[in-house]
Structure 1
Amino acid sequence: MTENGEEKREPPEEEGGHRAIENAVLLGFFVVLVAAGIWLLGTMADVRKAQDCAAQGRRNCATIDVPERTR
Structure 2
Amino acid sequence: MPEQPPQDDDRNRMAANLGAAVAIILVLALGYWLVGALMQQSKNEDCLLAHRRSCGTVEIR
Name the CA distance, whole Å, in 2 between partners of 1:66 and 1:58. Answer: 20
Structure 2 portions without partners, runs of 5+: none
Q: 1 or 2 for the larger relative contact order (CA 8 Å, sep ≥6)?
A: 2
- Percent of residue pairs identical: 27
Q: Deviations over 1:10-63 (max 9, x none)?
A: xx8661011001110011001100110011001000000000000000011112
Q: Name the count of aligned residue pairs.
A: 56
Question: Normalising to structure 2: TM-score of the pair?
Answer: 0.81
- Name segments (4+ residues, structure 1) moved above 3 Å: none
Q: Higher helix proportion, which one?
A: 2
Larger radius of gyration: 1
Structure 1 portions without partners, runs of 5+: 1-11
Question: Normalising to structure 1: TM-score of the pair?
Answer: 0.70
